[in-house]
Amino acid sequence: MNDATPQGLTQRFETDVAIIGAGPIGLFAVFELGLLDLKCHLVDILDRPGGQCTELYPEKPIYDIPGIPMVTGQELTEKLLLQIKPFHAQFHLGEMASALTTLPDGRWRLSTDAGTEIIAPVVVVAAGGGSFVPKRPPIAGIEAYEGKSVFYAVRRIEQFRGKEVLIAGGGDSALDWTLNLAPIAKHLTLVHHRDGFRASAHSVNRMRELVNEETIAFHVASVKALHGREGELEEVTLAGADKKEWRQKANAFLPFFGLTIKLGPIAEFGLNLNENLIPVDTAKFESSTPGIFAIGDINSYEGKLKLILSGFHEAALMAQAAFRICRPNDKLRFQYTTSSSSLHKKLGVA
Ligand SMILES: Cc1cc2nc3c(=O)[nH]c(=O)nc-3n(C[C@H](O)[C@H](O)[C@H](O)COP(=O)(O)OP(=O)(O)OC[C@H]3O[C@@H](n4cnc5c(N)ncnc54)[C@H](O)[C@@H]3O)c2cc1C
């Protein structure tokens, strides 16, 4: 487990519920738990909430959310974020939930790869199909440069100031970062294996303008080799469509080849797994480890449908069971949001 962040600091938080995954189900869990006065922290490896909805189909319409005839993946995420606003959940984005251990007092400690520790009596795994991880290009020895001069995401733009930047890819991430880093970098080159892009037309047009003005360079090419020392990139070998190779300067390489979903560290948490899913009961959606719940696409039970509406139902029942663990001496009162003045107060609509 992590004892420290890369900067040497551990950030420790105590809360009622630690949620792994800020997809639609993790987000709605905050609402159901919030109605019961339970506070939440959410961890997601992605740098924004929404899970599959925002990562895989932000602009596609969803037609089977009850009461909403049509909503896109992005809009649904925005509506969920608005709905949970009164509960002030704390997000830890861009962090991988990497270890889960028990404490002597029976609570859980969820650790992330960024050194965050969340201590809570209840952990909710809402991890969908697993964590979204960037696809690593097949370049020999690339691992040695990762985190030093090869990056799959931009966390701090300033890090690229004055650098020879090479970006590879043809989707929105590659084009967006080409446009954003062009004014910061000493020189920026975009490479893609063909002269066609999957990114928005507006970004592609702007990129072509910058190439015509000779502000940036674009080559139909692929990266064949990296050259440098101790993780610090100095040059790359590029190969054009005609297979002709050349070397050029580069201090930072950002490959944007999409994301792949892997169960990741959750497989090592010691939970009972069945084909990478967490079996749960259908009254509480608790795993076979008391205090650890699994909701949304990550769980399995007889008749399970991997639909958002199923996950919403699971979140509501999980919250009732989580309350009993977090507040063993308090009575749970069933209340409607329409008519309960105490719920109205919590929602800020009183
Ligand atoms: C193209 C497409 C269309 C779809 N259309 C519909 C539809 O019309 N209607 C419908 O109901 N459903 C639809 N679905 C399915 C729906 O998107 C899923 O059921 C839903 O996203 C599940 O939500 P979730 O919160 O359980 O998981 P996810 O949305 O997968 O979110 C899980 C989150 O957990 C994070 N995570 C996982 N492991 C870790 C870790 N160790 N550390 C940190 N973060 C972690 C991931 O990064 C991710 O953000 C569609 C799916 C796809 C791909």
Q: What is the pLDDT of residues 136-186, one digit of tens each?
A: 999 999 999 998 999 998 878 899 999 999 999 999 889 999 999 999 999
Q: What is the pLDDT of residue 259?
A: 85
User: CA-CA distance, 309 to 76, in Å (whole number)?
Assistant: 12
Measure 225 CA to ligand 1 centroid, in angstroms.
35
Token pair 């020392």 is found at 229
Q: What's the whole-number mean pLDDT along residues 266-272?
A: 95
- Atom number, ligand 1, closest to the C-alpha of residue 263: 38
Q: What is the pLDDT of residues 301-342, one digit of tens each?
A: 999 999 999 999 999 999 999 999 999 999 999 999 999 999
User: CA-CA distance, 33 to 322, in Å (whole number)?
Assistant: 8
Better-scored residue on pLDDT, 153 or 74: 74
User: CA-CA distance, 311 to 303, in Å (whole number)?
Assistant: 13
pTM above 0.75, yes or no: yes
- Atom number, ligand 1, closest to the C-alpha of residue 26: 25
Q: Are 28 and 80 in contact, with CB atoms under 8 Å apart?
A: yes
Neighbours of 140 (CB within 10 A): 9
Q: What is the pLDDT of residue 1?
A: 31
**H or E element, residue 301:** none
Q: What is the pLDDT of residues 41-61, one digit of tens each?
A: 999 998 899 999 998 888 889
Measure 1 CA to ligand 1 centroid, in angstroms.
26
Better-scored residue on pLDDT, 272 or 5: 272
The pLDDT-based confidence of 6 (bands split at 50, 70, 90) is: very low
- Percentage of the chain surpassing pLDDT 90? 88
Q: What is the pLDDT of residue 56?
A: 87
Q: What's the whole-number mean pLDDT along residues 74-79?
A: 97
- Atom number, ligand 1, closest to the C-alpha of residue 96: 42
User: Ligand 1, residues 52, 72, 285: which to mutate, most atoms within 8 A of Cβ?
Assistant: 52
Q: What's the whole-number mean pLDDT along residues 74-90?
A: 98
The pLDDT-based confidence of 4 (bands split at 50, 70, 90) is: very low
Q: What's the whole-number mean pLDDT along residues 281-310?
A: 98
Measure 78 CA to ligand 1 centroid, in angstroms.
15
User: CA-CA distance, 64 to 154, in Å (whole number)?
Assistant: 35
Q: Residue whose CA is closest, atom 19 of ligand 1?
A: 307
Measure 153 CA to ligand 1 centroid, in angstroms.
20
Measure 259 CA to ligand 1 centroid, in angstroms.
13
**If DSSP codes are grouped into helix, strand and coil, which group holds residue 313?**
helix
Q: What is the pLDDT of residues 221-232, one digit of tens each?
A: 999 999 999 999
Give ligand 1 pocket residues (Cβ under 6 A). Answer: 20-26, 43-46, 51-53, 56-57, 62, 64, 96-97, 126-132, 264-266, 296-297, 306-309, 311
Q: What's the whole-number mean pLDDT along residues 111-139?
A: 94
Q: What is the pLDDT of residue 8?
A: 53
Residue 109 has pLDDT above 80, yes or no: yes
Q: What is the pLDDT of residue 350?
A: 79
What integer best gives the mean pLDDT of the chain?
Answer: 94
